[in-house]
Amino acid sequence: MSKVHNFSAGPGILPAEVLKQASEACINFDNLNLSLLEISHRSKNFEAVMDEARSTVKELLGVGDEYEVVYLGGGASLQFAMVPYNLLKTDGYAAYVNTGVWANKAIKEAKIIGNTKVIASSEDKNYNYIPKGYEIPKDADYVHITSNNTIYGTQIKEFPNSSIPVVCDMSSDIFSRKVDAKKFALIYAGAQKNMGPAGSTMVMVKKDSLGKTGRKMLSMLDYQVHIKGGSMYNTPPVFPIYVTLLTMQWLKKNGGIAWIEKLNQQKSDAIYNEIDRNSLFYGSTAVEDRSQMNVCFLMNKPELEPEFDKFWKDAGISGIRGHRDVGGYRASLYNALPLESVNVLVDVMKAFEKKFA
Ligand SMILES: *Cc1c(COP(=O)(O)O)cnc(C)c1O
């Protein structure tokens, strides 16, 4: 089998050793001669997985006991609804920053639950930049931001200082760089971009921000119920949580956030340098807001796209067609993507320029 360089935007690449460990656990988990998929989630073996999966998030994000971590089903998209349901007071309002498709979906749900105000937006330029310098209202219940915009390839470099709780959708760049997690009241991330497989969503929440809405809560949508149940109020998505734990262990073993931050910098530098140098390509986002996770670029001569597609496919590259809202190309450089794969893509772009420029 020849090597595939997987630039998929999501579900994204996972470390090869994690896939191997995960497949072994499907047959024989913890030497029980039972599959992880056929044991009780209340068994001590799985409880140990859940405990470590929760504590490792806190360790990697550097937060203490004022925060809780739960794993939920429903994807990041369910959090678009659960966040306002749990934090937006019945007589209050929530502030949102609109940076694209995901933010819009979050705003749509919040509007159903309560009052919302969009305080900044980059819609005027098809979301190719991050709004800055906006005022965060002091009387809103929280402000919601999206740290990385998977579709457009923009990323917040500096998080706003705020006197009100900050909620962040970190689905596509969690654990990719150092962040001051204590700045946030709540961080959520669908696992399938950068922390594990699809099927579970991580929510890290500051305990004292909960229970204040004045709303009668449905159990399954209540963070406090899940916290109280140790993220096992009902049967949790055991396999995605286990594979997420393996991926976090892989990250820790290799040097943690400090290691991956450096590697992600090298990877994104390599490709953005080539985009800027190469006469056939250009980046589609504001330079200062360029994402280290999703690198979006377009071709000066779009009629050459079929030729370029042949080039990268022949080199074993997979998953770099851009999102339909932006077009062109998108190379996703999630944590598990090695620098070697980026170098292959850069070489393909160079060879393509030589032939067609
Ligand atoms: C992919 C993505 C989502 C949607 O996640 P689901 O798990 O499919 O619901 C939400 N927000 C961001 C930033 C994403 O990248």
- The ranges assigned to domains in the chain are 16-254, 256-356
Residue 190 alpha carbon to ligand 1 centre in Å: 6
For 103, 126, 180, the CA distances from 195, given in Å and listed in that order, are 20, 28, 18
Question: Atom 3 (ligand 1): residue with closest C-alpha?
Answer: 76
Evaluate if pTM is beyond 0.95: yes
Rounded distance from Cα 171 to ligand 1 centre (Å):
6
**Ligand 1 first shell, C-beta below 6 A:** 10, 75-77, 102, 146, 150, 169, 171-172, 190, 193
Give the number of the atom of ligand 1 that is nearest the alpha carbon of residue 148.
13
The parts of the chain modelled with pLDDT lower than 50 are none
8 A C-beta contact, residue 224 and residue 210: yes
pLDDT at 63: 98
Q: Is 16-254's fold the same as 256-356's?
A: no
Contact call for residues 206 and 187 (beta carbons, < 8 A): no
Class of domain 256-356: alpha beta
- The reported pLDDT for the residue numbered 334 is 98
- Which residue, by CA, sits nearest to atom 12 of ligand 1? 171
Q: 293 — phi, psi (to 5°)? A: -100, -45
Residue 340, burial from CB neighbour count under 10 angstroms (0-12, 13-18, 19+): exposed
Mutate to test the pocket of ligand 1, among 77, 82, 293 (most ligand atoms within 8 A of CB): 77
Q: How far is CA 206 from CA 7, 146, 203, 274, 350, in A?
A: 34, 18, 10, 41, 48
Distance 105 CA to ligand 1 centre (A): 10
The neighbour count for residue 285, using CB atoms within 10 Å, is 25
Confidence (pLDDT) at 132 = 96
Cα of 1 to ligand 1 centre, how many Å?
31
Across-strand partners of 19? none
Residue nearest to atom 13 of ligand 1 (CA): 171
Q: How far is the CA of 116 from the centre of ligand 1 (A)?
A: 21
Q: Which CATH architecture has domain 16-254?
A: 3-Layer(aba) Sandwich (3.40)
Q: What is the pLDDT of residue 68?
A: 98
Q: Which residue out of 171, 187, 323 has the highest number of ligand 1 atoms within 8 Å of its CB and is therefore the one to mutate?
A: 171
Any idea which residues carry the catalytic annotation? Answer: 102, 169, 193
Smallest CA separation from ligand 1 atom 5, residue = 76
Cα distance between residue 265 and residue 286, in whole Å: 17
pLDDT, position 1: 55
Whose C-alpha lies nearest to ligand 1, atom 7?
75
